[in-house]
Structure 1
Amino acid sequence: MKVLITGCNGQVGHCLTERLKTQAEVLALDYEGLDITNREAVLNTVAEFKPNYIINAAAHTAVDRAEQEVDLSYAINRDGPLYLAQAAKECGAVMLHISTDYVFDGTGEQPYQESDSTGPQGVYGQSKLAGEQAVAEACPQHLILRTAWVFGEHGNNFVKTMLRLAQSRDELSIVGDQFGGPTYAGDIADALIAMVQFIEQGNQPQWGVYHFSGMPYASWFDFASAIFQAAEQHNVLVKQPQLSSIPTSAYPTPAKRPANSRLNCSQIENQFGIKPSDWQAALNNIQAYK
């Protein structure tokens, strides 16, 4: 089995590379190794390596910067996935692509299902939705994994930000009216690998979009509280900072954040037997986030 991983230095890409290198022949590339916005480079790399699976973990994920970096966002989040999907179809590979809850408008309180209407509110979500559509049109054998609130030991994320702020502040104000499912990067990698193994075992999946995120649902305030409890319990912090819950309106950002990032993950469990990420268990490894 040969697997091409793009974005190998990102949160999920790093986990994928570490887990898959003992199971398959892996070509793991970062931006220096492959600029996915260069169509000729993508086609040449895929034609030469001839992977059975392409897993795209590369993305422009700076939500606020995306509002100014529109062309770059679309180049990385739409055009790159398109070229990878075209190359996958050309060599008969399965294309796996990571997407986001930001493709929805973020309203209501019900967890979003795969079939719900999309309505991204900013450039990041719009470019990621365009990437989903490009992949689906270019490569029939595709699996798109929408996820949310990603964190892990590698790269930048909310857990690391909270631990850093706690070193210098006694009090922190955290948004309490945005809800979602924190998702451990290692669990996303495991979900993608489980999808690959499902196919390798001779099963025919239902191609298309799947949701995968953490349970139970929480607000950013809830998530921060759990982070600090785990940090104190595992001697990462001597003392927890005092937390106060604030509304989104008190923390304005260039890009609108969804109030509802809850994803319904029943479809991926029904098809592949993959259960939601247990983000609370992942915080037991909080010593590794420093």
Structure 2
Amino acid sequence: MIWVIGYKGMLGSEICRQLGENNIQFVRTDVDVDITDIEALDQFAKCWAVTWIINCAAYTAVDKAESDIELAHKLNVEGPENIAKVAKKYGARLIHISTDYVFDGTGDTPRTEDMPVAPIGVYGVTKAKGEEAVRNNTDKYYILRTAWLYGWAGKNFVYTMIRAMNTHDAVKVVNDQKGTPTFAGDLANVILTIISKKGTVPYGIYHCTDLGEITWWDFTNEIKKQGIEKGLVTNKECVVNPCTTDEYPTPAKRPAYSVLSKDKIQNALGITLPDWKESLSKFLHSELFDKSRIE
């Protein structure tokens, strides 16, 4: 049995949708089974005889984490540690979601899985410690680092920018942070592919985003272009102005360069990940696109 933890989130909901679409049996939990309560996790795993655990639960409010350190640590470190212990106890394989924020953002070449982590904020620190907790407590794990995630469910950058462009004459977007957008549907598909391989994919850390290397300003311009073509961006005259990170200060520092190398996962699965522009088009053109989130 496959157990999806954090099913109400952007990625978790998409994984459940794809599992259902492929007629794959699964069970799902969210706050109803507290990941900081190892006894609750243990009882659930035992009851359902789980063979795979997909952990999408996390504290993801990057800026809020700077002042909410205790809760971020509980959800991003203690939770994964408990899940890993339960996975090992019942012989389940664990897929744990992590982030590009475990890197400090220096340099200008794609980050590989073997590069040392050096987080620069509380969120990144807790996610790096969560990875360590997983590695230290089970051998059967896949840690998938992703970045700039967006999907049909929940708030995300694409919905936010379309709404902003439709209600403002101009928007200001950071143009000195480089990375790669990731469509939740693509990441979920990779996760289902790993599961379909039935443990033949070597365990370890993998990077998984869509392909490409852009800034948030680049991303916004493409959202505008495709959004106009689709009729979602109605204010065609909205100007997308670039700005620096210093001009748009936030409580948490962001990595200036967090492009992740996808060679390892593409080779392991024998796949080619989609280009970020293609995936953005798929997102915008789907009937699952939630128009209420741009109104």
Q: TM-score, normalised by structure 2?
A: 0.94
CA–CA distance in 1 between the matches of 2:3 and 2:66?
A: 30
Q: 1:277 to 1:122 in 2, by over 3 A?
A: farther
- In the TM superposition, residue 289 of structure 1 has moved relative to its aligned partner by 4.3
200, 207, 217: which one aligns with 1:204: 200
Q: CA separation in 2, counterparts of 1:71 and 1:126?
A: 12
CA contact (8 A) 2:51 2:91 kept: yes
> 1:98 maps to what in 2?
97
Segment drifting more, 124-133 vs 160-169:
160-169
Q: Which amino acid aligns with 2:126?
A: S
Match of 2:271 in 1: 274
For 1:245, the equivalent position in structure 2 comes to 242
CA distance in 2, matches of 1:264, 1:64: 26
User: 1:43 corresponds to which letter in structure 2?
Assistant: D
Which ranges of structure 2 fall in alignment gaps of 5 or more residues? none
Partner of 1:195: 194
The residue identity in structure 2 corresponding to 1:144 is I
Show the counterpart of 2:160.
161
Alignment partner of 2:284 out of 265, 270, 286 = 286
Paired residue type of 1:265? K
Name the SS of the counterpart of 1:81 in structure 2: helix
2:23 is matched with 23
Q: Deviations over 1:53-109 (max 9, x none)?
A: 000011100000001111100110111111111111111110000000000111111
Give the structure 2 partner of residue 110 of structure 1: 109
Deviations 1:240-289 (A, max 9, x none): 31011111110000000110110000000111123334321222231514
Distance in 1 separating the partners of 2:12 and 2:5 = 7
How far off its partner does 1:167 sit?
2.1
Is the contact made by 1:47 and 1:87 (CA closer than 8 Å) also made in structure 2?
no
Match of 1:218? 214
Alpha carbons of structure 1 residues 89 and 16: separation in structure 2 relative to 1, 3 Å: same
The answer to whether the 8 A contact 2:38-2:86 is kept is no
Report the 3-state secondary structure (helix = DSSP H, G, I; strand = E; otherwise coil) of the residue aligned with 1:99: strand
- Aligned partners of 2:270, 2:123: CA distance in 1, in Å? 30
| SS of alignment partner, residue 214 of structure 1 | coil
Does the 8 Å contact 1:104/1:119 carry over to 2?
yes
Q: CA RMSD in A?
A: 1.2
Corresponding position of 1:233: 229
- Give secondary structure in 2 for the equivalent of 1:120: coil
Measure the CA separation in 2 of the matches of 1:36 and 1:107.
33
Question: 1:191, 1:275 → 2: CA distance?
Answer: 10
Question: Equivalent residue of 2:129, what SS?
Answer: helix
Range 272-281 or range 243-252, more displaced: 272-281
Corresponding letter in the other structure for 2:279: A
Look up the SS of the partner of 1:96 in the other structure: strand
Cα offset for 1:24?
A: 2.2
CA distance in 2, matches of 1:104, 1:23: 37
What is the CA distance between 1:198 and its match in structure 2? 1.2
Aligned positions of 1:59-138 closer than 5 A: 59-138=58-137
TM-score norm. by structure 1 comes to 0.95
Contact 2:103 2:117 in 1 (8 A): yes
Q: When the two structures are aligned, how many residues end up with a matched partner?
A: 285
1:267 and 1:165 mapped to 2: Cα distance?
37
Paired amino acid for 1:108 = G
Alignment counterpart, residue 264 of structure 1, candidates 251, 254, 261: 261
The 1-side partners of 2:59 and 2:210 are apart by 22
Check whether the contact 1:8–1:30 (CA below 8 A) recurs between aligned residues.
yes
Tell me the SS of whatever aligns to 1:73. helix
Alpha-carbon separation, structure 2, partners of 1:185 and 1:3: 19
For structure 1, list consecutive stretches of 5 or more residues without a partner in the other structure: none
